[in-house]
Structure 1
Amino acid sequence: MTPALERAWRWTRRLAPWVLAALVLGLVAQQARAVDWPAVGQALRQMPPWRLAAAAGLAVLSYAVYAGFDLVGRHLTRHRLSVPRTLGTAAISYAFNLNFGALVGGLAMRLRLYTRWGVQAPTVAKVIALSMTTNWLGYLWVSGAVLLASPPRLPGDWAPGDAVLRAIGALMVALALAYVALCAASRQRTLRWRTHALALPDGRQAVVQALMGGVSWGLMGAIVWVLFAGQADYPTVLGALLMAAVAGVITHVPAGLGVLEAVFVATLSGQVNATEVLAAVLAYRAAYYLLPLALALPAYALSEVAARRRSPQH
């Protein structure tokens, strides 16, 4: 690559996330101005309690699966923290991650909790890397399957067409399969890129990672689908959620505030009234973001107290 092309590529990498973020945030602002917020509140109040309870139950199950990602890291790094404490640490960190961002929850909170229980920082970094790999491995094959089987109906101005979406889906599934194949075939149990190193599981463990990651995303989609009460089919709801997840990562907005709602409204506008869409998504926020955070805050405080009592200095 020539120096001119290298410079152009560097500038493209720097500018592309900001351009995408501006597009997504512009969509958020456009949707917010057109919303009848009193009607959204009315739709929320009319939502049956059993539906909210079902969403909360699925959220608990989804958190349990996500917390299980850290058991993969526990197995591969062989750290000695107990299974219940590993699961608790992962669940608390995930609630903080969703509400306050990856740096706070996914990294800082996990590092704080694990090291308080005596796990060394380099080991914690490996656990975090394996958890992230499990999550995005599941995202790759689930998103790819959705794009292949049922491409979402995007607004006409920025819809690339079913053929393009299916091609992207095939690429995503291929990347997920390539990871599993790499883990199965590699004799070196470490994947290195520049100064970074990732512990590789064997083929069977990689399949477990893919299944766990896929189930996690599938349950998240099921929560929103239950709240829509049959107004939209499951693949469409799941596809909207998967797109919203990437949009949230691109914009770096804590909890994807406004981004999640805008993507759902844009994706489902032809099937469901915007008022009903926003009511369902806000109920999803309550079940998957706010309720777990309300539980994670006292759980974190209790964990700190227990760790202090365990410390020899106390």
Structure 2
Amino acid sequence: MTEPSAPPPAPRDRRTVLLRRLRYAAEAAVGLALLGGAGWVLHREFSKVSLADVLAEFERLPQVGLLLSVLLTIASYIALLVYERLGIAYVRAKVSLLRSSVTGFCAYVFSHNLGFALITGGSARLRLYGPAGLSVGQIVLVSTFTAWTFCLGAALVAGVSMFGEADRIARLVAGPPIVTHAAGAALLLGLLAYLLLGIRRRHVEWRGRRLETPGPVLTPLQIVVPAIDIALAGLALYVLLPNLPIGPVGFVGLYVVATSIGLASHVPGGLGVFEGAMVLMLPELPTESLLAAMLAYRLIYYLGPLALATTLFAAASFRKPRR
């Protein structure tokens, strides 16, 4: 006797699958386009740069600047751990400060270096928060909450900088500054709308699920804390660059725009895409100095924490879970 065949999928399910595939294809196309554009910019700008000159500039980096970059990197990751705690508070989970710090640090470092933050960071949280008793749903919510929190902080910094540094940012799209002003205004208005919505305790229906807004305490912190983190991360690169034509506030704005483009490309660490965007926005800097500073920044902000996070993740993974 043969088993009855499964019923054909509903039209709505087919549409959902099709739209999901189209979204993935669009994301891949955008990523490839950004990577290709970055490759063209880097080839054009760095084709006449010799490795010996870059290494010579790297050796001439000031010790004070390197030390400040390390300290600012540490402060930036501390701010990251703060909004890991915001995510824990949002899902109302009981997790020790030590566990959330180790888990958040590993998740952020892996997502920074490997890309695809929700996958890489979520996998680290699943491995380290699972033994603490968090459900899969809670872990997914923490990952989504923290990723969204970063986007809110980036929107605040980018929205402000699109008015102060509109001419430089407009070079990325080869358009007039008015386009940059409009994009900045849209970001700031969107943040204001989210703030007004989030400070009220209510439920929002999204894709058939009922989500609770963060409330009057978490919502403002969602915007302010990641903005501080982004500012510290940008300053960690700023102190390595000599003779900048703009101040630290303006530079942080350029940094968050370049970082956002790198994240949109889904290239691990935004490698190449971030550098290409910075080259376009800072044409006054000598190419050798810019490349040497970015190399040092990659070592300090990305590879150094990656080695530490890998060690912590391995040690935490082998610990016996508490009953």
Per the TM superposition, whether the score is higher than 0.5 is yes
Compute the displacement of 1:15 (Å).
6.2
8 Å contact 2:172–2:281 — kept in the other structure? Answer: no
Provide the TM-score with structure 1 as the length reference: 0.87
**Aligned counterpart, 1:58:** 72
Q: Are the equivalent residues in 2 in contact too, given 1:265–1:278 (CA < 8 A)?
A: no
**In the alignment, is residue 249 of structure 1 matched against residue 249 of structure 2?**
no
Q: 2:52 is matched with which residue?
A: 38
Give the drift of 1:103. Answer: 4.8
Task: Name the amino acid aligned to 2:80.
Answer: Y
Q: Which runs of 5+ in 2 are unaligned?
A: 1-14
Q: Which residue of 200, 203, 219 maps to 2:213?
A: 200
How many aligned residue pairs are there?
Answer: 300
How is 1:1-314 mapped onto 2 (pairs within 5 angstroms)? 17-33=27-43, 34-35=45-46, 36=49, 37-101=51-115, 102-154=117-169, 158-185=173-200, 187-188=201-202, 190-233=203-246, 234-269=248-283, 271-306=284-319, 308=320, 310-312=321-323
Identity among equivalent positions (%) equals 28
Secondary structure of 2:204's counterpart equals: strand
- Change in CA separation of 1:22 and 1:298 when aligned onto 2, cut-off 3 Å: closer
Higher relative contact order (CA 8 A, sep 6+): 2
* Structure 1: stretches of 5+ with no match in the other structure: 1-5
Q: Which has the higher helix share?
A: 1
The more displaced of 255-264 and 19-28 is 19-28
- Equivalent pair of 2:118/2:144 in contact (CA under 8 Å): no
Q: 28-37 or 166-175, which moves further after superposition?
A: 28-37
Larger radius of gyration: 2
SS at 1:203 equivalent: coil
Q: For each residue in 1:211-249, what CA deviation from the matched residue of structure 2 results, as whole angstroms up to 9, or x when unmatched?
A: 101111111111111111442422442233222222222
Alpha-carbon distance, 1:56 to partner = 0.9
Q: Give TM-score, length-normalised by structure 2.
A: 0.85
Q: CA RMSD in A?
A: 2.4
Runs ≥4 in structure 1, deviation > 6 angstroms?
A: none
